[in-house]
Amino acid sequence: MSSGSKNVGIMAIEVYTPSTFVLQSKLEEHYGVAQGKYTIGLGQEGIGLCGDVEDINSLALTVVKSLMEKYNIDPNTVGRLEVGTETLVDKSKSTKTVLMSLFPGNTDIEGATVVNACYGGTAALLNAFTWVESDGWDGRYAIVVAADIAAYAKGPARPTCGAGAVAVLVGRDAPLAFNPRERATHAAHVWDFFKPDHTVEYPTVDGALSQVCYYQAIEDVYQRLAQNVKKARGENSNDQPFDSESPDYWVFHAPYNKLVQKSYGRMFLIDARRRRHEESEEKKESDTANPLEEWLTKPIEETYSDKALERALKTVSAKAYEQRFNDSNSASKLNGNTYTASVFIGLASLVDKAGSRGDLSPGKTIGVFSYGSGALATMYRLHVREPTEQSTFTVAKMAEALKLTERLAKREEVHPGELDMALDTRARMHGAGAPYTPVYPTVGRLFPGTYYLKEIDAKWRRVYERVPLDAKMEPHGTSLAPESVLRMADRDPLPEDGAKKQKV
């Protein structure tokens, strides 16, 4: 049962990704690294590009407007709008307030912008679930927006860039229902990834620590989710214990695909250690064929950098991983890291793939793991169901409206050097002061219906316009930026860290 008899959950979902991308295989050649370093080492295939013509507000405007148009949502039927992002363009005025331009005449909309690395969107979603489930709900929908631009300085982290936005409609009698008793949250104080320097977009990252923090978070919430599922079922339930293979599908926060695969393997280690703890002494002595035997009693903190264990976990989890993650991982592998939008793009990818095949049928469940550095994480479960009181929102209609695979295929592949150009224009904008006119890419390269930043005026106010829905895109292969921009980049290259002195 999900949220009692109310079946609160996700009614619809929409995704926006940039119109251009670079291939990771060509980026390997461009940066002169070993073949397979990004495609195999990270498990990634492409990176969506985001220059200075698009910012966090324009991404959010695009995806919310698209959601409302596709599902014919009356702005007055929305009573909550909340945004999760870590890509801030203003320390005071939030993206949520910019989105209010899409709701003329409706000022009665609760919600704000939530910030905590890659976790803000999940916090916003849980807030929306709670609001719709509560006695204070007024019958209107909630919209949750998760959007980010993942930008890194030149170096080993740059191949984990990306950009994207997701809008989720939340209501009752949902096709993807949430049970508030089936969740667990992890919160800790760690310095794995943070953005203390406001003169640049780029984060300060401790890569090794970040991976360990991700592992620790998933192990914590996974074990407690299993306990919470047991409690929700009741002590007398004869159902099998919740484990890594209980959900029909999994969706993980995916900064890069290889981390998802390794982390799912860690859940198999937790399963094996839990079973060992519950076994009799006689069974423990006889169970010598377990491929994880040597790690079952080893202190868990000593296992995080164990490469032999990593290989063993990959082997034992391989089949289940392929069955449960192939669909949800697909879009992020093609588009790259999207921070707080990542787990939502994974869910949309699953709906697009499995929903289109008819495999996401009533009765199936989806395990979801969201992680944000610093650190906050939540694991929860969604239940696929057939709505009983409305027919507007179903899994099949979500998949039909998304067409995510088809839309990703329509993007334009560009030269890998364009990734540096896109990020350089963003860095220049970040330090240029006001007024400012964006230059990259030209508006004609954006998808019809895309909002873009037209200018930052002398008072630092951002002005947005929308590419008409019937606009014709410029042909592929032409320059993404005016010649003047290309000449400026050659004449005045940025330092390696992308920083420019602030104008005084």
Q: List, as residue ranges, the binding site for CoA.
A: 210, 258, 262
Token duo for residue 306:
């164990």
3-state secondary structure at position 73? coil
Q: Is 253 a catalytic residue?
A: yes
Catalytic entry in 118, 383, 412, 418: 118
Token duo for residue 310:
């990593």
Report how far residue 12's alpha carbon sits from residue 348's, in angstroms, rounded to the nearest whole number. 9
CB 52 within 8 A of CB 426: yes
Token duo for residue 172:
């009752």
Q: Is 213 a catalytic residue?
A: no
Q: How many CB atoms lie within 10 A of CB 196?
A: 7
CB 221 within 8 A of CB 186: yes
DSSP 200: S
Q: Is 50 a catalytic residue?
A: no
CB 316 within 8 A of CB 292: yes
| Cis peptide upstream of residue 272 (ω within 30 degrees of 0) | no
Catalytic entry in 14, 50, 253, 430: 253
CB 61 within 8 A of CB 451: yes
Q: Which residues pair with 126 in a beta bridge?
A: none
Residue numbers in the known binding site are 210, 258, 262
Helices and strands: H and E segment counts in the chain: 14, 16
DSSP 460: S
Q: Which residues pair with 500 in a beta bridge?
A: none
Token duo for residue 333:
């592998």
Catalytic entry in 14, 82, 86, 201: 86
Report how far residue 368's alpha carbon sits from residue 251's, in angstroms, rounded to the nearest whole number. 5
Report how far residue 252's alpha carbon sits from residue 370's, in angstroms, rounded to the nearest whole number. 6
DSSP 12: E
Report how far residue 58's alpha carbon sits from residue 450's, in angstroms, rounded to the nearest whole number. 8
Query: 433 vs 35, 196, 452, 472, 503, CA distance in Å?
Result: 40, 20, 19, 32, 6
Annotated active-site positions, please? 86, 118, 253
